[in-house]
Amino acid sequence: MITIHHLGVSQSDRVVWLMEELDLAYELKWYGRGDDFLAPDEFRALHPMGTAPIITDGDLVMAESTAIVEYVSQRYGGGTLSVGVDDAAYPHYLFWMQFNNNFQSILFMKMAFQAGGGDINEPNQITRVLKRREDGLYICLEQRLGASDYLAADRFTCADIMMMFNLTSLEMLGARPIGDALPNTRDYVARISARPAYQKAMAIAGPTANPP
């Protein structure tokens, strides 16, 4: 059985959500964050990456949520929440599965810039690049969600599981609030949040959940 090594308030809630969508059994092991909000030594000892999520599956120890989600979907979910290479939506699936790391690289660059005393509103080469790239991410989301109810295909897929954390939990770290300025994305968040498996997963392991 897969064990999800879950760090409180983290992207490992995606893996719990996927398991609930697929109705798969799993063990959940909680780890609390330290005073520095980072993963504790016990968690970091699991894998050299030291970032959440990490899963163990027999001898396999795996990090990186995009890889974990696709692994579980294909190996244990029959690929029903993935998009196959022969499907017309396959290029969209590839793009939106990678979007998470693009999205977070811009956000963390912005955070690092601000933590170093940078003023994000002062026009210079760095702030121009950051703003242009950040704008691009949200324009891309709005356009896609104006044309499709789901990101990768005309049905719910793993790409939607990869996206939600960025549109909800990451606001606390400086991601743009998803409100009236982003109406398609706002409606998408409402649509996906209504899924029973999402609600169950967030109650178990979401940002406001507590260890059992």
Ligand X SMILES: N[C@@H](CCC(=O)N[C@@H](CS)C(=O)NCC(=O)O)C(=O)O
Distance in Å, CB of 175 to ligand X, minimum: 12
What are the angstrom distances between the C-alpha of 197 and each of 16, 140, 205? 9, 26, 12
Phi then psi dihedrals of residue 153, to 5 deg: -155, -175
Residue 62, helix vs strand vs coil: strand
* Cβ atoms of 42 and 50 closer than 8 Å: no
- Comparison of 83 and 205: residue with beta carbon closer to ligand X: 205
User: What is the C-alpha R_g of the chain?
Assistant: 17
7 binds ligand X (CB under 6 A): yes
Q: Is 64 in the site for ligand X (CB under 6 A)?
A: yes
Contact with ligand X (CB under 6 A) among 27, 32, 38, 45:
38
Does residue 51 belong to the site contacting ligand X (CB under 6 A)? yes
Contacting residue, 2, 6, 8, 10, with ligand X by CB under 6 A: 10
Residue 57 identity: D
Strands of the 2-7 sheet, one edge to the other: 26-31, 2-7, 54-57, 60-63
Shortest separation between residue 69's beta carbon and ligand X, angstroms: 9
Applying CB under 6 A, the span of 63-71, 82-90, 117-125, 143-151 interacting with ligand X comes to: 63-71
Task: State the nearest-atom distance from the C-beta of 13 to ligand X, in Å.
Answer: 9
How many CA atoms does the CB half-sphere of 163 hold within 13 Å?
A: 26
Nearer to ligand X, 64 or 187 (CB): 64
* Residues at the contact surface with ligand X, assessed by CB under 6 A: 7, 10-11, 38-39, 51-53, 64-66, 101
